[in-house]
């Protein structure tokens, strides 16, 4: 397998796209605490950041369409005892487009395994947030022997078609983000809605700074191109197969998350002896930003088992 880390490449400041005849610049994540590099995998080149030493945790960002930068700075707490690795999925923001133009949950899970091999890691802990949790679940089904711990954060576990209809087809603007978003008349209104929707409290300066980079990721032409393919991905997770995963599983929800409901997940996970479910009372979708110290305490204790 042809994999390599580009160690000599200078840290790029970002990338430029031509939008309506004008150049638009998208900045790279400049988080100061991480080592940054590209790594060549068989079908794509991934943009990677990492910090800390110790047992490896690989994170999977939400989306699809975003990037990993919004995980800064709160996940840095894990760098005290772990080597924590962040990356943009194939075709996302700083990472290159796929050579075979394939995108979807199965491809993202295979990329994670290729990344683990390229970094010469043995067992890894996997932390998937939102969409990243679905990728982490698929990875665990196929590569369970390579995982020490599985953490699913704000992931739509055991959702039904009725759940999706309620959230995405309703006219109730309090529970339909897309329709509420379409009502916004200015960028200021959209920004206010974004933070009100995803966060229980006002987040800190650095959290907001790196969230803004992730928000920009959704507006690139690269994202438009890959999302047209992601939308055709017919993969549907069979959450009952969680019973086949014998490694320790930690499932985390924000009590006030408008996008993910824990009810069905709690019923399913309640029958699994290897699984623990925790609900954060003062969080929405990005738990690690709303309650970073509590998030770290619970996850760190889980990882030490």
The predicted-structure confidence for 252-262, as pLDDT tens digits, reads as follows 999 998 888 88
Domain of 179, CATH number, reads 3.40.50.1820
The residue-averaged pLDDT of 5-20 equals 71
- Conformation bin of residue 78: beta by default, left when phi > 0, alpha when psi is -120 to 50: alpha
Q: Which residues pair with 153 in a beta bridge?
A: 129, 252
What span, in angstroms and rounded, lies between the C-alpha atoms of 128 and 131? 7
Give mean pLDDT, residues 174-184: 72
Q: What is the total count of domains within the chain?
A: 1
Provide mean pLDDT across the span 82-111. Answer: 96
Extract the tokens encoding 190: 């959209």
DSSP label of 126 = E
User: Residue 251: which domain range?
Assistant: 4-303
Helix (H, G, I), strand (E, B) or coil at 1: coil
Report the percent of the chain where pLDDT is more than 90: 74
d(CA 62, CA 214): 10
Cα–Cα distances in Å, from 236 out to 142, 169, 218? 15, 19, 23
Predicted TM-score (pTM) above 0.75:
yes
Q: Which two tokens stand for residue 194?
A: 């974004």
Kindly report the number of other CB atoms within 10 A of residue 173's CB atom: 13
Report the C-alpha gap between 193 and 184 in whole angstroms: 8
């Amino acid at each position: 397998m042809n994999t390599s880390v580009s160690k000599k490449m200078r840290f790029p400041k970002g990338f430029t796209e031509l939008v309506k005849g004008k150049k638009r610049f998208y900045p790279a994540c400049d988080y100061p605490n991480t080592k940054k590099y590209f790594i060549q995998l068989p079908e794509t080149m991934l943009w990677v950041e990492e910090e800390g030493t110790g047992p490896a945790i690989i994170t999977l960002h939400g989306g699809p369409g975003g990037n990993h930068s919004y995980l800064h700075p709160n996940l840095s707490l894990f760098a005290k005892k772990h080597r924590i690795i962040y990356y943009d999925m194939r075709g996302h923001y700083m990472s290159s487009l796929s050579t075979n133009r394939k995108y979807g949950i199965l491809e993202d899970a295979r990329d994670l395994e290729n990344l683990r091999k390229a970094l010469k890691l043995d067992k890894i802990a996997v932390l998937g947030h939102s969409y990243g949790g679905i990728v982490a679940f698929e990875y665990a089904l196929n590569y369970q022997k390579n995982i020490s711990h599985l953490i699913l954060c704000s992931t739509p576990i055991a959702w039904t078609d009725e759940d999706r209809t309620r959230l995405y087809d309703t006219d109730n603007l309090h529970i339909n983000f897309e329709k509420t978003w379409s009502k916004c008349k200015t960028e200021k209104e959209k920004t206010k809605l974004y933070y009100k929707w995803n966060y229980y409290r006002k987040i800190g300066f650095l959290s907001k700074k790196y969230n803004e980079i992730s928000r920009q990721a959704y507006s690139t032409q690269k994202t438009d191109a890959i999302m047209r393919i992601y939308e055709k991905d017919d993969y549907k997770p069979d959450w009952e197969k969680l019973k086949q995963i014998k490694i320790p599983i930690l499932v985390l929800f924000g009590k006030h998350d408008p996008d993910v409901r824990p009810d069905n997940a709690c019923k399913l996970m309640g029958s699994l002896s290897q699984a623990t479910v925790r609900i954060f009372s003062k969080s929405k979708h990005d738990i690690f930003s709303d309650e970073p110290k509590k998030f770290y305490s619970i996850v760190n204790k889980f990882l030490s088992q």
